Amino acid sequence: MKMAETQLGLAPLLLYLVVVVLSGSALVVESGIGVNWGTISSHRLSPSTVVDLLKDNKIHKVKLFDADPGSLRALMGSGIEVMVGIPNELLALLSSSTAAADLWVSQNVSRYMVKGGTNIKYIAVGNEPFLASYSGQFQSYVIPALTNIQQSLVKANLAAIVKLVVPCNADAYESSLPSQGTFRPELTQIITQLVSFLNSNGSPFMVNIYPFLSLYGNSDFPQEYAFFEGTTHAVTDGPNVYYNAFDGNFDTLVAALGKLGYGQMPIVVGEVGWPTDGALGANLTAARAFNQGLVNHVLGNKGTPLRPGVPPMDIYLFSLLDEGAKSILPGNFERHWGIFSFDGQAKYSLNLGLGNGLLKNAKDVQYLPSRWCVADPSRDLSGVSNHFRLACTVADCTTLNYGGSCNGIGAKGNISYAFNSYYQIQKQKSLSCDFDGLGMVTFLNPSVGECRFLVGITDNHSSGIGLHSWSFIVWWLVFWIFWMLLM
């Protein structure tokens, strides 16, 4: 885990208030609660349905991982504060070409910021580009890309409204105790440049904090320290005592920033949450306990030992919806972070503290007919392995793995689950339940206990691999061609 710095007094608090006023926010030291809206799903709700879900739950801040036109159009007129994202793969182009930066801003920001348009407040330049596992692949592009995008915003007269941020993974800093927090040695120079840029442009530092990953990756990590209900494994750091991993991690960043001379910089938590499936410890009970504890803790405005009374500017829960087509390289839990399932139905009771009570489900979701594909009990299933592998390559079978909600349903249950997952992605086409005669359609729900056999949705935007609208794909092609011409 990471940790960090010295007590903040009245002066930093006043500075923080000034920053808040200058940023156009209300003069209150309170956190805003937002959500990450990812779209890497095999069952994608229409953007308009998602925006209605946000409004019904009074969620006024949303973070996107790209600039999907369908999402941005649906957000027009909603008043919801939006952060758009620039994927890491675009950083090289945007760092080398001011024309490319101008084009990106024109097509993905300016065109939506009209009267009654989309309320874009932030652009996330890259997504965890300093992640250690990237081995510096994107590192050299970050500052030049920031500079070019900033100049493009100035040209578009948007620099006073739209702020740039760079979401950083918590592995950018390290320490055994919060007050000793420092950035990784190889990042010191570039992070110094980054925070200088952010500070001069009135932008916060953005970090992603995941106590779940600390617990998942370390068998010796005390489980209760990941939550907010007290622990017998508190961390004592001089006069300060840490009772949860979130505060310890946050203050490690505060200390690391302080060592660079920016200990008072406002901090936004870009991603934080707890998954509900796909691994031991990833379940509905734990997710509810963590997220409700986090919301209560942050909105209590107590801050942390190094920033008493000054919580993060904003936190963005990860995530709004499950994303069943995400890479599972980090773990099978990666597809199960949503506070809502893929169809916009709340997974558990959660009060976001936004004056709306418990979560409200998405309305008017159109489902496919109530039928499922299962293994035919009358057939010999000894030759099913290739069919099972195919189904789980296309569809999401992560709940079948150890620690998953469907792990205990037996071999035939596993086959049926895989068959049905594939069948639903294929919009229940009759041939998609054939599997050389080993599958059959049933009208009896085969769900068992917490193991849910899903029924797909019929939204026009929900396609087999529909991760983005066609217009977004077209713009990717435009940028690719632009890049080739520059080479």
Digit-coded pLDDT (tens) for 129-157: 999 999 999 999 999 999 999 999 999 99
Is the Cβ–Cβ distance between 274 and 320 less than 8 Å? no
Query: Identity (one letter) of the amino acid at 476?
Result: W
* pLDDT beneath 70: ranges in the chain: 1-30, 459-487
The neighbouring-strand residues paired with 169 are: 208
Convert 218-256 to b/e letters by CB count within 10 Å (16 or more is b): eeebeeebbbbeebeeebebeebebbbbbbbbbbbbbbb
The pLDDT of residue 462 is: 42
What's the chain's Rg over C-alpha atoms? 23
3 state SS of 212? helix
The pLDDT of residue 31 is: 80
The pLDDT of residue 356 is: 87
What is the C-alpha to C-alpha distance for residues 128 and 453, in angstroms, rounded to an integer? Answer: 34
Is the Cβ–Cβ distance between 216 and 281 less than 8 Å? yes
The gap from C-alpha 116 to its chain's centroid, in whole angstroms, comes to: 27
User: Any idea which residues carry the catalytic annotation?
Assistant: 128, 271
Q: Smallest Cα–Cα separation from 369: which of 427, 327, 418?
A: 427
Is the Cβ–Cβ distance between 457 and 366 less than 8 Å? yes
What is the C-alpha to C-alpha distance for residues 463 and 455, in angstroms, rounded to an integer? Answer: 14
Is the Cβ–Cβ distance between 345 and 362 less than 8 Å? yes
What is the C-alpha to C-alpha distance for residues 42 and 46, in angstroms, rounded to an integer? Answer: 12
Is the Cβ–Cβ distance between 149 and 166 less than 8 Å? no
Specify the CATH number for 10-335; select among 3.10.270.10, 3.20.20.80, 3.40.50.1220, 1.10.3720.10: 3.20.20.80
C-alpha dist (Å) from residue 402 to 152, 282, 332, 384: 49, 11, 9, 21
Task: Tokens 């937002």: give the residue.
Answer: 34
Task: Tokens 């920053």: give the residue.
Answer: 19
Q: Tell me the domain boundaries of the chain.
A: 10-335, 372-442
| Two tokens, residue 140 | 């050299």
Query: Identity (one letter) of the amino acid at 430?
Result: S
Query: Identity (one letter) of the amino acid at 345?
Result: Q
What is the C-alpha to C-alpha distance for residues 428 and 416, in angstroms, rounded to an integer? Answer: 14
Q: What is the DSSP letter of 117?
A: -
What is the C-alpha to C-alpha distance for residues 38 and 41, in angstroms, rounded to an integer? Answer: 8
3 state SS of 76? coil
The gap from C-alpha 291 to its chain's centroid, in whole angstroms, comes to: 14
The pLDDT of residue 460 is: 55
C-alpha dist (Å) from residue 239 to 3, 173, 179, 245, 310: 14, 22, 10, 17, 18
3 state SS of 329? coil
Q: What is the DSSP letter of 404?
A: S
The pLDDT of residue 2 is: 37
- pTM score of the predicted model: 0.89
Is the Cβ–Cβ distance between 278 and 403 less than 8 Å? yes
